[in-house]
Amino acid sequence: MIATKINEEFPEHEIKEFSQSIYIVDYTHQTKNDPVKRSVEIHVVKPTDIDSFFLLNSCVLNIGAVIYDKYSFVDESGMSQTQCECVAFPAQSEESSWIMFLELKYCEYRNAVKNLNKAKCQVRATYEYYKQKGIIKNRQLAYLLVSLPKQTNTPFESFISTQEELVQWRNKNIIFRGVNSAKIKDQYLLDV
């Protein structure tokens, strides 16, 4: 269902499928001065040259993922809109299947709050694009995750969100977390 709706609403977005655990990384900053630029990538083997977000898939669920770039969401005049790095979801989904939006920030601890606030806006904006297009249904649990792969002091969400805000989001079937990994429990839930 999710993949079908994405293909209908955003046919230019390429959905890749994985049946194993994945590592999500962003090489943009690391390769900005290199002759060959790299950006967000999904690996099935842990990269040794960059820290990553890890999505554990021990239940071997087929998952779909879309990596976004600056042209993934544009306004009427063709201007790039803010978005997160990627989305992941069960490849065979139902109206109550989970969907996960992820933003990675490679920053030092002293810049964490500023970067987390930006990341929070990015995952929320991308969620809203999908919600407005009917890709996300009311009963669907959406995980808005921000990751600081260079930091180990998770969870991060308390740096930028109040408990009241987290409860309000949860009442709308949104779980916001600052983590560097998540575990797929089944097609309905993640463990974050």
Question: Per-residue DSSP letters for 138-178?
Answer: TT--EEEEEE-TT--S---GGGT--HHHHHHHHHTTEEEEE
Indicate the domain borders of the chain. 2-191
Which of 7-16, 46-55, 129-138, 155-164 has the weakest average pLDDT?
A: 155-164
In this prediction, residue 143 carries a pLDDT of: 97
Tally of CB atoms within 10 A around 14: 11
pTM for the complete prediction? 0.94
